[in-house]
């Protein structure tokens, strides 16, 4: 596990990046199924993998509602490894059984895993074969959520990228439409819908859709706002369909949300005056909601372990709007295209790190004793036991955090560990 | 390929982690792709452990597959040794690493580390978590406690090892404390407890004991048999869950140690027998119970349910195929056919078909039972965070029997309330669907619109007065029952006697 020296100066307008390789304490892309299967209400996610894959998803989803979920695992056994022909037959049998049990399913994702990738089980051919068999009732698509190819939120990217070819072709003579990309909580979608309407942007679609049959059309008149920093492949696939991406900060906090909306407003030629008139009350409300957490967070130092790729925009939000001091901003992967605007706003003095050697990162963290550590579930309790205050990062992808009306909630997620420390007298 | 919604057991390397995490001074180097580190959270979150499991993962990615993953393993193992300085190391592969065939065992040997390095061969596509734990424990014991030239000479005080407790075990911490207490009362010294809390040096001392106490055969049976063959240590077969089994366990231990257990047996601190004989427990008689879990806990639960609580066991099963024979035998004794499956959907179908009044199972069965509106208590792993309680809550020993009585009876509808339910079974706010009143978590059923009262029927003054003596929460129902009864019987006026006739009529 060699650790190259920090490659300083490779970013022309931002912080140097520390790149490390070693043990990565991160989830694989299969974990995204835990929220994706709730977002697309008639889709089913079938992981083709091992018992480890099944165990991972249920452990990550362990706190979730336990109704029969719209995901499952086709666990490969010894005989599936022996011959791929048999594995394909077995997969067909499993899919038949599944679809017979769940006639409500309209879209089935075959999700590749580490073992299916390593034995080179061709899931795209399997998806074609099964689609032919089960159309028009069920469409079958595939993507890989394997740990050898994806880290945590990259699973959503791979899933959405696989969905892009299913989008109908938009007529290029129609007026421009706005496409918001990224799985957002329904309530957040509804809030954005209202804001865009107030701004005079009438035709707004969200991707992924809530139902498989409602995939929005994409074409040269599509203008895309990406809502999550980890959707690089999806954004590129949509751009390849002729759509234009509106670069902006991500909609975290009052500033991020304003800038994100402004990118759309500019594309629609909304006047500065109109934009302010519409946005100001919401922005003010967001700022008011931040005030209380700011009292707790201002001046405190924060250290991010890599997790969801949300780390750079969150560090920008926490430093600019809440006065926190970022020591290290760790991210599993730095998506430079999508983060272009964010990179310019990253706090000075922070260490930006991409990839991970968890042991070395823990050494740095212990040496710096940050006031707050943002990390995964495997590290949180051990660090708490060492006397550090932690915020589990998984909550950041499992809660509504985008937009004006969630800015206060997002800040409160970081303030709560301090409030708890202060409250406890044991 | 097996279609799985939820799995009862993780892969075998998670079993190895349970052993490694339980021990001290042991480090596990696991060849595994990025993402397999999720297993850490089982220990840090579900069991609330305050330290990371002692596991180094190579976390290889696609780009490494083209290069040298073997080198990645070697550097990970070398760095783990340097950083953690363990007394011994176990090395192995997870499911994906098994496919790339890097031979962690040979690679680790090539490093010439100055500590014992124990290779694990855990076939991920055939075996599961408990098997992996058992195999790991066996390999550790076999490597670190080899055959001795000189036979062990028993001391004046008899000594035993306690085998089986691991990290993430169901109530292992508390069972161990309870069994230690019991052995202390018997005057037996505990030599080594393993894996929980044992260091490699402790494992090496295991042959110093006179016999072994096996608490969880799923984990310790293979190692115990090897210790018997190699070091001549006999081991206990009775699992001390429940009053009767605890007594038999004490007798078995006393026989192995050559001591007299009469004093301990005559003064047990178990309350279960009296709690069960107490008249208020009459209502437990014949309650239909479905039991599913690992083999040890399922078999023990069936015995306790039938013999010590007077339940009727209507279903018994396990996900532990390695112990299917034992569970089948236990089921046959109860006139049942055991359900041996690791398919959650099959278990759900069995419970739905049997409609028991109580389910004793794992966290999976808890969710099945919740969906079906049946009371449930968890008796076995896999369990969730709420099954790792802060309080002392063993399953084993006399205190364990007390705990079983409390936790199994609690989800049931209590005796007198049950009578009222039978009498006023259609009451809109007090019925079977609303669940037991002492269980706050139960949802109240939506109110059923009331039929208009039959206004032409008159109430005598006396009957009206009698009606007010009935508790308010059932008064409305009594009034309606009486009126319905009167209408059916063609009575114009309700007298006191009509009220009691109605009560008798509807109390069927």
CA dist A205 and A193 (Å) reads 9
Same domain, A115 and A211: no
Q: Is residue A172 part of a domain?
A: no
CA dist B393 and B404 (Å) reads 9
Task: Name chain B contacts of A28, Cβ cutoff 8 Å.
Answer: 33-36, 38
CA dist B351 and B365 (Å) reads 9
Number of structural domains (chain A) is 3
Q: Tell me which residues of chain B, numbers 365 to 404, contact chain A at a CB-CB cutoff of 8 Å.
A: 367, 370-371, 384-385
φ, ψ at A405 (rounded to 5°): -80, -5
CA dist B409 and B406 (Å) reads 5
> Which among B76, B99, B385 has the least Cβ separation from residue A118?
B99
**What tokens were used for B295?**
């083999």
Pairing of strands B358-361, B288-293: parallel
Pair B74, B105: CB distance under 8 Å: no
- Furthest-apart CA atoms within chain A: distance in Å: 67
Shortest Cα distance, chain B CAs vs residue A409, angstroms: 24
**What tokens were used for B192?**
């080594």
Q: Where is the domain boundary, A223, A242, A274?
A: A274
Q: Which residues of B are catalytic?
A: 280
Same domain, A37 and A129: yes
Q: Is residue A57 part of a domain?
A: yes
Per residue in A111-170, pLDDT (tens digit) is 999 999 999 999 999 999 999 999 999 999 999 999 999 999 999 999 999 999 999 999
B190 touches chain A (CB under 8 A): no
Shortest Cα distance, chain B CAs vs residue A71, angstroms: 7
A90 touches chain B (CB under 8 A): yes
Identify the bridge partners of residue A244 per DSSP, sorted by sequence position.
A223
Spell out the alpha helix ranges (H) of B111-188.
129-144, 172-185
Burial of A324 (0-12, 13-18, 19+ CB in 10 A): buried
Task: Name chain A contacts of B370, Cβ cutoff 8 Å.
Answer: 66
Same domain, A217 and A300: no
Alpha-carbon distance values, A119 to A148, A275, B459 (Å) = 13, 54, 82
Pair B467, B498: CB distance under 8 Å: no
Same domain, A58 and A85: yes
Pair A408, A290: CB distance under 8 Å: yes
CA dist B296 and B239 (Å) reads 7
φ, ψ at A83 (rounded to 5°): -140, 130
Per run of 10 residues, the mean pLDDT along chain B (length 508 residues) is 90 98 98 96 93 97 87 96 98 95 93 97 96 98 92 81 97 98 96 98 97 98 98 97 97 96 84 94 90 98 97 96 96 97 92 90 91 90 92 97 95 69 58 51 37 65 82 67 87 88 77
Please tell me the predicted confidence (pLDDT) of residue A64. 47
Please tell me the predicted confidence (pLDDT) of residue B427. 59
Task: Name chain B contacts of A50, Cβ cutoff 8 Å.
Answer: 11, 95-96, 124-125
φ, ψ at B206 (rounded to 5°): -55, -35
B75 touches chain A (CB under 8 A): yes
B65 vs A148: CB contact, 8 Å cut-off?
A: yes
CA dist B475 and A177 (Å) reads 64
Please tell me the predicted confidence (pLDDT) of residue A60. 78
Q: Is residue A4 part of a domain?
A: no
Same domain, A96 and A121: yes
CA dist A257 and B314 (Å) reads 59
Shortest Cα distance, chain B CAs vs residue A5, angstroms: 18
- Which of B331, B294, B289 lies closest to B309, judged by CA? B289
Task: Name chain B contacts of A377, Cβ cutoff 8 Å.
Answer: 40-41, 44-45
Closest residue on chain A to B13 (Cα):
A52
Q: Which residues contact A153 (CB under 8 A, 6 or more apart)?
A: A29, A32, A228, A230, A308, A309, A310, A397
> Which among B49, B124, B367 has the least Cβ separation from residue A50?
B124
Q: Tell me which residues of chain A, numbers 287 to 316, contact chain B at a CB-CB cutoff of 8 Å.
A: none
Shortest Cα distance, chain A CAs vs residue B199, angstroms: 21
Taking 50 as the pLDDT cut, the residues of chain A under it are 1-12, 63-65
Closest residue on chain B to A362 (Cα):
B52
Task: Name chain A contacts of B72, Cβ cutoff 8 Å.
Answer: 1
Q: Is residue A123 part of a domain?
A: yes
Task: Name chain B contacts of A384, Cβ cutoff 8 Å.
Answer: 50
Alpha-carbon distance values, B193 to B129, B161, B250, B394 (Å) = 21, 6, 18, 17
Same domain, A238 and A213: yes
CB count in 10 Å sphere of residue B237: 12
Q: Is residue A160 part of a domain?
A: no
Q: Residue A144: helix, strand or coil by DSSP?
A: strand
Pair A325, A347: CB distance under 8 Å: yes
Closest residue on chain A to B69 (Cα):
A1
Same domain, A140 and A192: no
Q: Where is the domain boundary, A217, A249, A274?
A: A274
A76 vs B125: CB contact, 8 Å cut-off?
A: yes
Pair A169, A238: CB distance under 8 Å: no
A73 vs B36: CB contact, 8 Å cut-off?
A: no
Identify the bridge partners of residue A107 per DSSP, sorted by sequence position.
A43, A139
Same domain, A243 and A305: no
Q: Residue A152: helix, strand or coil by DSSP?
A: coil
CA dist B233 and B399 (Å) reads 28
Identify the bridge partners of residue B494 per DSSP, sorted by sequence position.
B459
Please tell me the predicted confidence (pLDDT) of residue B21. 98
> Which among A30, A51, A380 has the least Cβ separation from residue B7?
A51
Closest residue on chain B to A149 (Cα):
B62
Q: Is residue A82 part of a domain?
A: yes
B14 touches chain A (CB under 8 A): yes
Same domain, A233 and A307: no
Pair A330, A26: CB distance under 8 Å: no
Please tell me the predicted confidence (pLDDT) of residue B423. 64
A80 touches chain B (CB under 8 A): yes
Task: Name chain A contacts of B126, Cβ cutoff 8 Å.
Answer: 77-78
Identify the bridge partners of residue A375 per DSSP, sorted by sequence position.
A392
Task: Name chain B contacts of A114, Cβ cutoff 8 Å.
Answer: 33, 35, 95-96
A50 vs B11: CB contact, 8 Å cut-off?
A: yes
Shortest Cα distance, chain A CAs vs residue B234, angstroms: 35
Could you list the residue range(s) of the whole structural domain that residue A141 is in? 29-150
φ, ψ at B447 (rounded to 5°): -65, 140
Question: Alpha-carbon torsion A98, A104, A108, A111, what sign?
Answer: negative
B75 vs A1: CB contact, 8 Å cut-off?
A: yes
Closest residue on chain A to B39 (Cα):
A56
Angle ∠(A140,A143,A147) on CA atoms, nearest 5: 145
Shortest Cα distance, chain B CAs vs residue A171, angstroms: 39
Q: Is residue A388 part of a domain?
A: yes
Task: Name chain A contacts of B67, Cβ cutoff 8 Å.
Answer: none
Pairing of strands B211-214, B189-194: unpaired
Same domain, A269 and A302: no
- Which of B229, B370, B380 lies closest to B291, judged by CA? B380
Shortest Cα distance, chain A CAs vs residue B27, angstroms: 14
Closest residue on chain A to B84 (Cα):
A359
Task: Name chain B contacts of A308, Cβ cutoff 8 Å.
Answer: none
Closest residue on chain B to A144 (Cα):
B62
**Is ipTM > 0.90 here?**
yes
Q: Which one-letter DSSP state was computed for residue A8?
A: T
**What tokens were used for A72?**
């499952």
Please tell me the predicted confidence (pLDDT) of residue B373. 82
Q: Where is the domain boundary, A274, A303, A336?
A: A274
A52 vs B124: CB contact, 8 Å cut-off?
A: yes
**What tokens were used for B317?**
């099963």
Identify the bridge partners of residue A111 per DSSP, sorted by sequence position.
A47, A143
Shortest Cα distance, chain A CAs vs residue B134, angstroms: 18
Exposure class string for B485-507: b at 16+ Cβ within 10 A, else e: bbeeeebeebbeebbebbbeebe
CA dist A315 and A304 (Å) reads 8
Closest residue on chain B to A76 (Cα):
B1
A28 vs B35: CB contact, 8 Å cut-off?
A: yes
**What tokens were used for B397?**
């020993």
A378 vs B52: CB contact, 8 Å cut-off?
A: yes
* Whole-model pTM over 0.80: yes
* DSSP output for A39-59: HSTTEEEEEEE-HHHHHHHHH
Pair A329, A223: CB distance under 8 Å: no
Q: Is residue A166 part of a domain?
A: no
Shortest Cα distance, chain A CAs vs residue B107, angstroms: 15
Q: Tell me which residues of chain A, numbers 16 to 45, contact chain B at a CB-CB cutoff of 8 Å.
A: 22-31
**What tokens were used for A254?**
């009052």
Exposure class string for A226-251: b at 16+ Cβ within 10 A, else e: bbbbbbbbbbebbbebebebbbbbbb
CATH number at residue A79: 3.40.50.1980
Report how many Cβ contacts below 8 Å link chain A to chain B. 187
Pair A45, A70: CB distance under 8 Å: yes
Q: Tell me which residues of chain A, numbers 239 to 298, contact chain B at a CB-CB cutoff of 8 Å.
A: none
B35 touches chain A (CB under 8 A): yes
> Which residue shows structure tokens 């075998």?
B12
Same domain, A255 and A324: no
Same domain, A270 and A311: no
B44 vs A72: CB contact, 8 Å cut-off?
A: no
Please tell me the predicted confidence (pLDDT) of residue B266. 85
> Which among A56, A149, A381 has the least Cβ separation from residue B44?
A381
Task: Name chain B contacts of A78, Cβ cutoff 8 Å.
Answer: 123, 125-126
Q: Residue B339: helix, strand or coil by DSSP?
A: strand
């Amino acid at each position: 596990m060699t650790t190259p020296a920090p490659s300083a100066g490779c970013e022309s307008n931002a912080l140097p990046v520390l790149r490390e390789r070693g043990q990565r304490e991160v989830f694989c892309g299969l974990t995204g199924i835990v929220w994706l299967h709730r977002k697309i209400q008639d889709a089913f996610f079938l992981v083709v993998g091992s018992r480890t894959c099944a165990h991972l998803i249920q452990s990550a989803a362990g706190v979730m509602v336990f109704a029969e979920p719209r995901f499952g695992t086709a666990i490969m056994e010894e005989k599936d490894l022996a011959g791929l022909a048999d594995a394909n037959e077995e997969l067909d049998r499993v899919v038949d059984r599944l679809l017979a049990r769940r006639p409500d399913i309209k879209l089935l994702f075959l999700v590749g895993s580490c073992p299916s990738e390593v034995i080179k089980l061709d899931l795209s051919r399997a998806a074609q074969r099964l689609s032919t068999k089960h159309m028009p009732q069920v469409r079958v698509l595939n993507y890989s959520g394997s740990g050898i190819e994806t880290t945590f939120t990259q699973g959503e990217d791979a899933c959405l990228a696989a969905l892009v070819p299913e989008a109908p072709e938009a007529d290029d003579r129609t007026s421009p439409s706005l496409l918001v990309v990224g799985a957002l909580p329904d309530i957040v979608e509804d809030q954005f819908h209202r804001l865009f309407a107030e701004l005079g942007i009438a035709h707004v679609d969200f991707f992924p859709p809530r139902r498989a049959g409602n995939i929005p059309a994409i074409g040269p008149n599509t203008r895309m706002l990406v809502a999550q920093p980890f959707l690089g492949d999806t954004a590129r696939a949509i751009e390849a369909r002729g759509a234009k991406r509106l670069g902006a900060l991500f909609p975290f906090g009052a500033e991020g949300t304003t800038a994100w909306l402004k990118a759309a407003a500019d594309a629609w030629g909304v006047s500065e005056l109109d934009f302010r008139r519409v946005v100001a009350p919401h922005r003010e409300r967001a700022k008011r909601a931040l005030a209380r957490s700011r009292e707790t967070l201002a001046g405190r130092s924060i250290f991010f372990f890599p997790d969801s790729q949300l780390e750079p925009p969150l560090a920008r939000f926490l430093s600019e709007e809440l006065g926190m001091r970022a020591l290290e901003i760790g991210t599993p992967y730095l998506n430079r295209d999508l983060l272009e605007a964010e990179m310019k706003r990253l706090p000075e003095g922070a260490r930006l790190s991409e990839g991970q050697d968890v042991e070395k990162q823990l050494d740095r963290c212990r040496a710096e004793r940050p006031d707050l550590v943002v990390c995964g579930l495997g590290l949180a309790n051990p660090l708490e036991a060492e006397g550090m205050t932690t915020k589990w990062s998984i909550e950041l992808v499992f809660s509504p955090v985008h937009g004006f009306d969630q800015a206060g909630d997002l800040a409160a997620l970081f303030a709560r560990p301090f409030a708890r420390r202060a409250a406890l007298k044991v | 390929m097996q279609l799985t919604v939820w799995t009862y057991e993780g892969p075998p390397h998670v079993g190895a982690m349970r052993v490694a995490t339980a021990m001290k001074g042991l480090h596990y180097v696991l060849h595994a792709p990025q993402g397999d580190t999720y297993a850490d959270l089982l220990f840090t979150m579900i069991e609330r452990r305050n330290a990371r499991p002692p596991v180094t993962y190579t976390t290889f990615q696609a780009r490494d597959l083209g290069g040298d993953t073997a080198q990645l393993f070697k550097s990970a193992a070398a760095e783990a040794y340097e950083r953690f300085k363990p007394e011994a190391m176990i090395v192995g592969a997870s499911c994906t690493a098994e496919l790339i065939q890097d031979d962690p065992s040979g690679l680790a040997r090539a490093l010439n580390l100055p500590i014992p390095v124990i290779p694990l061969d855990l076939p991920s596509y055939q075996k599961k978590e408990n098997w992996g734990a058992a195999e790991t424990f066996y390999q550790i014991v076999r490597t670190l406690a080899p055959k001795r030239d000189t036979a062990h000479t028993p001391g004046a005080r008899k000594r035993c090892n306690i085998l089986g407790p691991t990290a993430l075990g169901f109530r292992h911490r508390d069972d161990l404390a309870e069994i230690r207490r019991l052995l202390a009362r018997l005057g037996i010294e505990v030599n080594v407890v393993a894996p929980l809390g044992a260091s490699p040096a402790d494992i090496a001392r295991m042959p110093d004991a006179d016999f072994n106490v096996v608490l969880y055969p799923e984990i310790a049976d293979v190692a115990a048999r090897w210790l018997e063959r190699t070091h001549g240590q006999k081991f206990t077969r009775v699992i001390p869950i429940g009053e009767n089994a605890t007594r038999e366990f004490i007798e078995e231990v006393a026989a192995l140690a050559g001591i007299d257990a009469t004093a301990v047996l005559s003064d047990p601190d178990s309350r279960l027998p009296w709690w069960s004989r107490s008249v208020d427990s009459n209502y437990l008689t014949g309650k239909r119970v479905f039991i599913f879990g690992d083999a040890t806990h399922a078999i023990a639960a069936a015995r306790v349910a039938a013999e010590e609580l007077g339940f009727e066991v209507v279903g018994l099963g396990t996900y532990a195929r390695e112990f299917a024979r034992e569970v089948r035998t236990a089921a046959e004794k109860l006139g049942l056919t055991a359900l041996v499956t690791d398919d959650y959907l099959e278990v759900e179908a069995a419970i739905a078909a049997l409609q028991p009044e109580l389910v004793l199972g794992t966290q999976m069965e808890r969710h099945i039972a919740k969906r079906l509106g049946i009371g449930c208590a968890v008796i076995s792993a896999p369990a969730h965070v709420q099954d790792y309680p802060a309080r002392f809550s063993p399953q084993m020993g006399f205190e364990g029997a007390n705990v079983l009585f409390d936790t199994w009876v609690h989800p049931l509808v209590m005796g007198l309330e049950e009578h009222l339910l039978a009498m006023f079974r259609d009451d809109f706010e007090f019925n079977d669907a609303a669940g037991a009143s002492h269980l706050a978590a139960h949802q109240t059923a939506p109110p059923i619109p009331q039929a208009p009262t039959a206004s032409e029927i008159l109430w005598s003054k006396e009957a009206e007065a009698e009606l007010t003596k009935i508790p308010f929460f059932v008064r409305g129902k009594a009034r309606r029952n009486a009126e319905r009864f009167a209408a059916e019987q063609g009575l114009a006026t309700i007298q006191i006697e009509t009220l009691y006739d109605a009560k008798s009529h509807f109390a069927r």
